[in-house]
């Protein structure tokens, strides 16, 4: 039996983002939409890259998840969200193509950028919220 190699963070991006946003005063509904898109994005990466050479079915599942991620975040009709999400996809795909894995540390600045759009607290505070949430979820 071949062991599956995970190439994305063990912690859920969706749950991390929701937890980080939950501490915001007057948390707005955009956080839920962004979190939903992040869930699709992570599932897309997992389907494409979990075992290295994806089967045709895995590619289709991954492509569908990417499309759902883009469609979900586009519902917000805010180009800033789409720009950050696009950089996440590009940077993640580039890391995997070069033989690496996409870690939470690598994606933290992107997650912080998404959170900062909502919170307007600044990149440093948003990044701290992301890191705190991830640590809490890891237990």
Whole-number pLDDT of residue 139? 83
Length of the chain: 139
Whole-number pLDDT of residue 3? 43
Q: What is the distance in angstroms between the CA of the first residue and the CA of the last residue of the chain?
A: 30
The encoded tokens of residue 72 equal 């979900």
3-state secondary structure the chain: CCCCCCCCCCCCHHHHHHHHHHCCCCCCCHHHHHHHHHHHHHHHHHHHHCCCCCCHHHHHHHHHHHHHHHHHHHCCCCHHHHHHHHHHHHHHHHHHHCCCCCCHHHHHHHHHHHHHHHHCCCHHHHHHHHHHHHHHHHC
- Each residue's pLDDT tens digit, 6-45: 567 789 999 999 999 997 876 678 999 999 999 999 998 8
Q: What is the mean pLDDT of each run of 10 residues along the chain (139 residues)?
A: 58 96 81 95 82 68 86 91 89 82 90 95 96 94
Whole-number pLDDT of residue 52? 56
Whole-number pLDDT of residue 6? 59
| 107 and 92 Cβ atoms separated by less than 8 Å | yes
Q: How high is the mean pLDDT of the chain?
A: 86
């Amino acid at each position: 039996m071949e062991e599956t190699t995970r190439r994305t963070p063990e912690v859920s991006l969706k749950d991390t983002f929701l937890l980080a946003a939950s501490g915001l005063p007057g948390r707005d509904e955009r956080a839920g939409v962004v979190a939903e898109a992040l869930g699709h994005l992570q599932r897309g990466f997992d389907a494409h890259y979990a075992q290295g050479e994806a089967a045709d079915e895995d590619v289709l599942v991954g492509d569908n998840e990417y499309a759902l991620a883009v469609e979900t975040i586009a519902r917000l009709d805010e180009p800033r969200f789409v720009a950050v999400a696009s950089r996440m996809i590009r940077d993640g795909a580039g890391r995997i193509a070069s033989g690496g894995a996409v870690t939470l540390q690598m994606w933290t600045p992107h997650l912080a950028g998404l959170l900062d759009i909502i919170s307007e607290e600044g990149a440093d505070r948003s990044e701290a919220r992301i890191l705190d949430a991830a640590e809490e979820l890891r237990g």
